[in-house]
Chain A
Amino acid sequence: MKEFSSDRIIELKTPLSIEDIINLRSGNRISISGYIYTARDTAHKRLMELIKSDRELPFPLKGQVIYYVGPSPAPPGRVIGSAGPTTSYRMDPYTPKLLEMGLKGMIGKGRRSDAVREAMVRYRAIYMAATGGAGALISRAVRESTTVAYEDLGPEAVRRLKVERFPAIVVNDILGNDLYEKGQKQYQILS
């Protein structure tokens, strides 16, 4: 199969298989539909504690996508409040283990650590960016939201979201390319 060109928007359906992501490249614009799970700082810490003590996780990891988000409360008549990505590096210490266990995609914003980038290549997974600070716009792609764990964490609870045409861009692909590095190099002016 040929690599996708960068001007087309590629449809992705979750859960993801290796075939779904093998030809995706850093810079590809994508549109995600299906179920994704939300988890951020404290939820990650709790997931790691479960993994360490060999207990069952509140949701399956294999082939799944985690969205780093803590949405604002849903006003009456809405599924969710504002729901843009949070900065991803804070989840870096926990991510290689989740990738080893079969996590296939992550949506957030900002750079990942070398360890996470290496783990994405090793376990064949991708990292995608959504537009930070565009939470009102992004909330339109969320059709259902169900809390599946850690309700006590409020905005940090783990939710299962049904999304339709969620807009994102591939930052890190399975070959180890990084859009932030590539993009900055292309536009920087060296004096």
Chain B
Amino acid sequence: MRRISTKTVIQAVRDLAISANLELGKDVIHAFEEALEKEISPSGKAILAQLIDNAQIAREEKIPICQDTGLVTIFVDLGQEVSIVGGDFKAALEEGIREGYSKGFLRKSVCHPFTRKNTGDNTPLIAHIEIVPGDKLKICVVPKGGGSENMSRVFMLPPSAGWQGVKEHVVRTVNEAGPNPCPPTIVGVGIGGNFEQSAFLSKKALLRPLGSRNSNPELDQMEKELLEEINKTGIGPQGLGGRITSLGAHIIMMPCHIASLPLGINIQCHASRHMEVTL
């Protein structure tokens, strides 16, 4: 067994929380630059130019890309030959977030559902822990804002709806969201599984680098078709009108129950922040 201490986990999560909020991925910046070339609407172009500047200011001046530094989701791949020592693993993830959000001057955006009293340290977080072969520990910190999460949906479609039905529901969801989730967005789509799995897959789909191809040629073709339909809506950057409503549509699909066609749609704002480390 390989031993990894909770102290190492805390430090890793703290550093990831800060860097994820300050440094936008190169894939996203590259997607902005490409979008700026393709966009025909003057206001859309102006917004995209602002987003490129904004990412640079955030990185250089060390302030968050967006003030909504989110409720944090952490994806963990825990090698089955790893032994976590020195305390509770989930508590270590939480402590890492607590420290990162305090030291990094990140906004605490978590509250009681009814009293709306802020928990004060941006905890709790949502952890998805998967046990995988090997002796490595991969941690991916995803701070996601409320605006785009609010526009996300799950539909339990009848099997007869098929791919056509899936496409219609995704485009309708994007249309209803309009300017609210800060377009240009990335649309994560989870097809199959069950109710909660489709939502989980739709979020996981967002982690794939922008501009990368789906390794399954059939899904790759579906993603292209979907993105084309989404970009016909005319919503454009910030909803002010334009041809670039989304920078990408990512699909993860798996088998489902013979009675079901679950569809999860997770909308990600343009500030697509996630940072990972393998220990």
B234 with A185: CB separation less than 8 A: yes
Mark B89-113 against chain A: 1 for CB-CB distance below 8 A, else 0.
0000000000000000111110000
B180-A81 in contact (CB<8A) = no
CA distance A120 to B118 in the complex (A): 32
**A143 located at the interface, meaning its Cβ lies under 8 Å from any Cβ of chain B in the complex:** no
Whether A155 and B238, one on each chain, are in contact in the complex, defined by CB atoms closer than 8 angstroms, is no
**When the two chains form their complex, are residues A109 and B41 in contact, meaning their CB atoms are under 8 A apart?**
no
CB distance from B226 to the nearest CB of A (A): 14
Query: Would A187 and B241 count as touching, CB distance under 8 A?
Result: yes
B61 contact set on A, CB distance < 8 A: 136
User: Is the CB–CB distance between A111 and B180 below 8 Å?
Assistant: yes
A91 beta carbon closer than 8 Å to chain B: no
B232 within 8 A of A: yes
Q: A73 touching B178 by the CB < 8 A rule?
A: no
Name the residue among A42, A69, A183 with the largest chain B CB count within 10 angstroms: A183
- Is B253 on the interface with A (CB-CB < 8 A)? no
Say whether, besides A75-B63, A133-B271, A137-B50, A184 and B233 are in contact (CB < 8 Å): yes
Task: Please tell me if A70 contacts chain B, counting CB pairs below 8 Å.
Answer: yes
Closest B residue to A167 by beta carbon equals: B50
For residue B177, give the distance in angstroms from its CB to the closest CB of chain A.
Answer: 9
Nearest-CB residue, chain A, relative to B40 = A187
Q: Which residue of B lies closest to A90 (CB)?
A: B150
Cβ-based interface call for A31 (8 A): no
In contact, B238 and A131 (Cβ under 8 angstroms): yes
Whether the pair A180, B240 counts as a contact (CB closer than 8 A) is yes
Enumerate B13-35 residues with CB–CB distance to A below 8 Å. Answer: none
Of A70, A78, A111, A156, the residue contacting B68 (CB under 8 A) is A70
**Residue numbers in A under 8 Å from B66 (CB-CB):** 82, 84, 132-136
Closest CB of chain A to B146's CB: distance in Å? 8
Cβ of B58 under 8 Å from chain A: yes
Does A89 make an interface contact (CB < 8 A)? Answer: yes
Q: Is the beta-carbon distance between B234 and A186 smaller than 8 angstroms?
A: yes
- Whether B246 sits at the interface, judged by CB under 8 Å, is no
The CA-CA distance from A139 to B203 in the complex, in Å, is 30
Contact flag A87-B238 (CB < 8 Å), given A154-B118, A155-B107: no
Quick check: is A41 within 8 A (CB to CB) of the other chain? yes
Contact string against B for A residues 120-138, beta-carbon threshold 8 Å, 1 for contact and 0 otherwise: 0000000001011111110
Q: How far is the CA of A140 from the CA of B56 in the complex (A)?
A: 13
A179 within 8 A of B: yes
Q: Which of A164-191 contact B (CB under 8 A)?
A: 167, 169, 179-180, 182-191
Is A83 among interface residues, defined by CB-CB distance under 8 A?
A: yes
* Given known A-B contacts A135-B54, A180-B240, A111 and B232 have beta carbons under 8 A apart: no
Judged by a CB distance under 8 angstroms, whether A113 is at the interface is no
CB distance from A68 to the nearest CB of B (A): 11
Give the CA-CA distance A186 to B182 in the complex, in Å: 19
What separation, in Å, do the CA atoms of A89 and B65 have in the docked complex? 23
Q: Using known A-B contacts A81-B105, A137-B57, A184-B233, determine if residue A72 contacts B116 with beta carbons closer than 8 Å.
A: no
Residues in A neighbouring B274, C-beta threshold 8 A:
none
The answer to whether the Cβ of A64 comes within 8 Å of any Cβ in the partner chain is: no
A87-B105 contact in complex given A82-B65, A184-B235, C-beta closer than 8 Å = no
Considering the complex, give the chain A residue whose CB is closest to the CB of B102.
A73
The docked-state distance in angstroms from the alpha carbon of A42 to that of B115 is 10
Q: Which residues of A contact B43 (CB under 8 A)?
A: 27, 169, 183
Asked if A86 is at the interface of the complex by the 8 Å CB criterion, the answer is yes
Measured CA separation A84–B145 after assembly (Å): 12
CB-CB contacts below 8 Å: B102-151 with A: 105-109, 116, 118, 120, 145-147, 150
* 30 A–B contacts from the bound complex (CB under 8 Å): A70-B67, A70-B107, A82-B67, A82-B69, A83-B67, A84-B68, A86-B68, A86-B147, A109-B147, A110-B179, A132-B182, A133-B182, A135-B65, A136-B58, A136-B61, A137-B50, A140-B57, A153-B118, A154-B108, A155-B109, A156-B118, A179-B240, A180-B179, A180-B241, A183-B43, A183-B236, A183-B242, A184-B241, A185-B241, A187-B234
New A-B contacts (13) at CB < 8 Å, excluding given A41-B116, A82-B63, A139-B63: A71-B67, A74-B105, A82-B67, A84-B67, A84-B68, A109-B182, A111-B178, A111-B179, A131-B54, A135-B65, A136-B61, A154-B120, A180-B240
